[in-house]
Copies of this chain bind each other. A is one copy, B any other.
Amino acid sequence: MNGEDRGQANRTVSKGTVDDRAVRPAASIGAGSDLLQLDPHDAATGGLSGWLAGRLRRAIADGRLPVGSRLPPTRLLAAELRVSRGVVTEAYRRLTEDGHVVGRGRGGTTVVAAPVTAAAPAAPDTPAMPAASDASAGLFSGTPGTGIFDAVRAAGARIDLSPGVPELAAFPRGAWVRTERAVLAELPASALGYADPRGTPELRRAAADWLARNRGVRAHPDEVIVVAGTAQALGLAAQVLRADGIARVAVEDPGALGSRQHLEHWGIDTPPVPVDFRGVRVDALRATGAPAVLLTPAHQFPTGVVLDGARRRELMRWAGGDGGLVVEDDYDAEHRYDRPPVPALRSMLPERVLYAGSVSKLLAPALRTGWVLAPPALRDALVDAKRFADLGNPVLPQLVLARLMESGELERHLRLIRGRHRRRRDAMIAAIGARLPGAEVHGAAAGLHLMITFDAGFADADLADAALARGVKTQPLSWHRRRPGPPGLVLGYALNTPALIVEGIALIAEALATVRR
């Protein structure tokens, strides 16, 4: 079992042992020069070796001679092509010089590298997602499937008023690269190996400090588990809850379609609980009999309602007294304009709250970085779940982010975009007042989006489709609803300038005229 095993893998794999379509001539062309369509009469006079090398090069490039396969012995190929053996030897020599093949003495000549000019193979037959060009016709109609957010993202639109994204143009690119350079300059090599699945100590400490400063949550860094955003947090929570015998997690109604899809993918049943102007109805939650609930207490998605004090107390009785578990999705709580911050529920009852936050709304969703504080009883199971999900988040971005948080750079960034977001929100509210006089605005005191509702009379999916046809991307409120209710839209204002927002609202008004009857 030592080095002597070399060579053994390079024996001929004969065609026809299994389905011919499936098996490619992987390990040798054997006596199959016809397979490679070699005919010396194609060669220009006197250039037989060059011709043969070129043909073989092409066969390597297009996969007929894959890496690892062996060229036929020179004697055999020469006989088959009726050329002198020197012609073949010279062709092999040229390929060797190119670095495409390696001669192994009696081991034969083996393909080791394909030319990079290889033509691309054909696209797979079954695209896993609708093509962008199909996407704009009736995209929002019908029941949204698991790929709906990918399909909407792929749809082209000049003005993107989708909710859930901060101003991406403000991403601190310079600070990010400078910080990464500084991180790499000091990093011990061992930090590039496998790492703690719970995250780097640096980011766990920075997240604990951030939560204390900004969210009223006191957590030891050891309690923080770094995750790939709130989406992963929901998946890990669902796995841990299911293993703990919890297969039902109540959700807010209206509530985020995406979050519900995530829980349901992981086999969790999601009974709806109505939300009113004070937040989730805890009496209705109790009535579902669900042992757990997913909430967005600081700025309910999509309504923007803040869970009020009386409801918080009622919820804490449900959690503390009756043993309910709260999954707190604190997705955009750092963004607020006209009201003081609301402390996270986690600060009230750490034993019964699984807290999830992320930098998706602070910096960029593309970073796929967030954090979870598990209730103590679930912490070990959650660490196991994260380990077996991916062995932990990538290390470099964690270290960069930790420095941006500890240096105050992230707070500076937050102050910067908060001002810009406020102006954009104000522009949107003013435009709605001017162009959509029948629309009622909800939940605009915080976050990155607002909700508008209309008197009944049309399907909001039709409105979203008509707006998209005019180049404006929005989300229909009905996506996020379980019980029927008035039509509406969920509108993000962070991505666009005030001028584009005004134009977008005007286009929505045009679209509205076509769907209203």
Give the docked Cα–Cα distance between A380 and B430 (Å). 44
Q: Is A369 an interface residue (CB 8 A)?
A: yes
Q: Tell me if A2 and B442 are in contact (CB < 8 A).
A: yes
Residues on the B chain within 8 Å of A128, using CB? 198, 222, 379-380, 383
Given A1-B305, A198-B128, A222-B123, also A23-B442 (CB < 8 A): no
A342 and B9 contacting across the interface, CB-CB below 8 Å: yes
B320 x A23 contact (CB < 8 A): yes
The answer to the question of A352 belonging to the interface, with a C-beta cut-off of 8 Å to chain B, is yes
Closest to A411 in B: B113
Please judge, given known A-B contacts A18-B317, A313-B13, whether A366 and B191 are in contact too, CB under 8 Å.
Answer: yes
**Chain B interface: which of A74-82, A85-93, A386-394?**
A386-394
The complex places the Cα of A321 from the Cα of B181 at a distance, in Å, of 53
CA distance A11 to B313 in the complex (A): 10
A sample of 20 cross-chain residue pairs with beta-carbon separation below 8 angstroms, ordered by A number, consists of A1-B442, A6-B340, A6-B445, A8-B306, A13-B348, A17-B316, A18-B319, A22-B350, A22-B351, A23-B316, A23-B349, A107-B340, A113-B213, A120-B220, A128-B383, A177-B177, A229-B391, A231-B388, A235-B388, A394-B394
Chain B residues, Cβ within 8 Å of A341: 67-68, 110, 112
CB distance B309 to A11 under 8 Å? yes
Most chain B beta-carbon contacts within 10 A, residue among A22, A176, A185, A208: A22
State whether B316 touches A18 (Cβ < 8 A): yes
A312/B192 contact (C-beta < 8 A), A17-B317, A173-B184, A197-B150 known: no
- Please pick, from B192, B194, B222, B367, the residue contacting A153 in the complex, using a CB distance under 8 A: B194
Interface hits, A346-403 → B, CB 8 Å: 347-352, 364-369, 376, 379-380, 383-384, 387-397
In the complex, A232→B110 CA distance in Å? Answer: 33
Count of residues in A whose CB is under 8 Å from the partner chain: 157
CB of A517 closer than 8 Å to a CB of B: no
Stretch of A37-45, A48-56, A164-172, A498-506 at the chain-chain interface: A164-172
Candidates B24, B181, B221, B277; contact of A348 at CB < 8 Å: B24
Ordered nearest first, which 8 A-B pairs have the shortest CB separation?
A11-B309, A68-B343, A18-B320, A6-B339, A66-B216, A8-B308, A67-B216, A366-B395
Give min CB distance, A168 to chain B, whole Å: 4
